[in-house]
């Protein structure tokens, strides 16, 4: 069985037609779903690129991999080279392992032969929606991946694991830069999306400091100062546009798989490193905010043994940390010890119809500099605990408060260990 992983950057489940969004047109993701199934509630371990990516490639929490930021002003170490990774597991199982596109992994892609990342020209479809390196790199990445997907079959019949890491809809970040501060929006074709019901931020003072001061750490949030409600609606229109650009590139990849007759023997999983705020709480993009909007990602799967009815799986509650054990079970490889996720194979294949309540831990860290904290501020992660009945926010590394609907009291419980 071959494996094709499609990883998007900053793709929200809430933006997709397969998850109920009626505004975005995603015929190729719809096409993928028609052959498979999707999980309703899948969450990223961190709403920030590098910590999330290192986590799902290794199956460990960000505070265990050591990646708690995107680097730059707050450098992070490389992932321990002795840790098993998805790439190393499948390379050792004699798969042809190649990675295309965005990396941002700090060594977590060990085991993959990483293709060069370049750009190809792409025309802007609308003056209001400029394209940048994100979109141009996606065009190159897909061209390169399609070349591999359509090459003559390996005479030794070795299966492949190709990971195609696409940038969009991350192009929305530079769109904000083009529209920073007070401005008049350029005309766009068609109607503007409505703002979500939770657009206002009247509860900001009750939020954790990392949310209250997010504009101090995240320049894209600061650049929305002075935006009107209409400006935020244009943000949503642009975000949907970049999602649709992503969908077109996914279509080219699916066409390549189909052209060689490999669909029936290829496990395809589509997901994302993290999500996008989509203007909820007047926020854009992502960063240190653990809202539903910034952490909930799509998880669509199709392939040998996978349910083929377009099923929406309500249980179990899933995490991207489940990716490694799921791939191992579906390919009958041993699951490494010590992983923090569990295999979703029983639900994807229809063997399980229900699931016991699960808790999903989402550890992250507020980088030093957001607030005037000590230089070792990154050593103690805050944690969000998501379960089927509750959500919680942790202010330090030793306790967390479990907050249920309309809580009367807060119960303090130990946080997961850091080792």
The answer to the question of residue 371 being in a domain is no
Total tally of structural domains belonging to the chain? 1
The answer to the question of residue 333 being in a domain is yes
Q: For residue 188, what are the domain limits?
A: 2-353
pLDDT of residue 401: 31
The answer to the question of residue 413 being in a domain is no
Can you read off the two tokens belonging to residue 416? 């997961």
Q: Which of 222-226, 300-304, 354-358 has the lowest mean pLDDT?
A: 354-358
The answer to the question of residue 363 being in a domain is no
User: pLDDT per residue over 343-357, tens digit each?
Assistant: 999 999 988 766 654
Task: Give yes or no for a cis peptide into 169 (omega within 30° of 0).
Answer: yes
The answer to the question of residue 415 being in a domain is no
> What predicted TM-score, i.e. pTM, was given to this entire model?
0.88
pLDDT of residue 360: 59
Say how far apart CA 203 and CA 221 lie, in whole Å.
Answer: 17
The answer to the question of residue 373 being in a domain is no
User: pLDDT per residue over 150-192, tens digit each?
Assistant: 998 777 788 999 999 999 999 999 999 999 999 999 999 999 9
Contact (CB, 8 A) for 132 and 195: no
**Which CATH number goes with the domain that contains 47?**
3.40.720.10
SS3 content of the chain, % helix, strand, coil (to 5): 30, 15, 50
The answer to the question of residue 296 being in a domain is yes
Say how far apart CA 140 and CA 100 lie, in whole Å.
Answer: 9
The answer to the question of residue 370 being in a domain is no
């Amino acid at each position: 069985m071959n494996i094709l992983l499609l990883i998007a950057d900053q793709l929200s489940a809430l933006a997709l037609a397969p998850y109920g969004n009626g505004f975005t047109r995603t015929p190729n993701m719809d096409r993928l779903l028609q052959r498979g199934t999707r999980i309703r509630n899948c969450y990223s371990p961190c709403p920030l690129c590098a910590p999330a990516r290192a986590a799902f490639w290794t199956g460990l929490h960000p505070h265990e991999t050591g990646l708690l930021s995107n680097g730059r002003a707050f450098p992070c170490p490389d992932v321990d080279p002795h840790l098993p990774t998805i790439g190393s597991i499948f390379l050792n199982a004699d798969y042809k392992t190649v990675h295309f596109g965005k990396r941002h992994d700090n060594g977590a892609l060990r085991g993959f032969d990483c293709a060069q990342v370049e750009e190809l020209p792409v025309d802007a479809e609308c003056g209001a929606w400029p394209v940048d390196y994100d979109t141009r790199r996606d065009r190159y990445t897909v061209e390169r991946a399609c070349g591999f997907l359509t090459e003559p079959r390996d005479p030794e019949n070795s299966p492949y694991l190709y990971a195609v890491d696409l940038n969009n809809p991350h192009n929305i970040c530079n769109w904000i830069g083009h529209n920073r501060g007070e401005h008049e929006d350029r005309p766009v074709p068609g109607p503007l999306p409505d703002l979500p019901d939770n657009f206002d931020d009247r509860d900001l003072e009750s939020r954790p400091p990392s949310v209250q001061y997010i504009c101090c750490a995240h320049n894209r949030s600061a650049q929305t100062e002075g935006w009107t409600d209409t400006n935020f609606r244009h943000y949503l229109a642009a975000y949907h546009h970049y999602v649709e650009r992503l969908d077109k590139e996914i279509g080219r990849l699916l066409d390549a798989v189909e052209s060689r007759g490999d669909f029936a023997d290829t496990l395809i999983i589509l997901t994302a490193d993290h999500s996008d705020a989509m203007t909820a709480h007047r926020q854009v993009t992502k960063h240190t905010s653990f809202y539903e909007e910034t952490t909930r990602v799509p998880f669509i799967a199709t392939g040998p043994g996978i349910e083929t009815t377009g099923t929406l799986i309500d249980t179990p509650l899933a995490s991207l940390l489940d990716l490694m054990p799921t791939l191992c079970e579906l390919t009958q490889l041993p699951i490494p010890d010590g992983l923090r996720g569990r295999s979703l194979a029983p639900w994807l294949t229809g063997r399980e119809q229900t699931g016991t309540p699960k808790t999903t831990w989402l550890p992250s860290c507020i980088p030093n500099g957001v607030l005037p904290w000590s230089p070792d501020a990154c050593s103690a992660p805050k944690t969000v605990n998501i379960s089927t009945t509750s959500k919680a926010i942790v202010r330090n590394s030793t306790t967390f408060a479990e907050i249920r609907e309309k809580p009367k009291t807060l119960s303090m419980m130990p946080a997961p260990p850091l080792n």
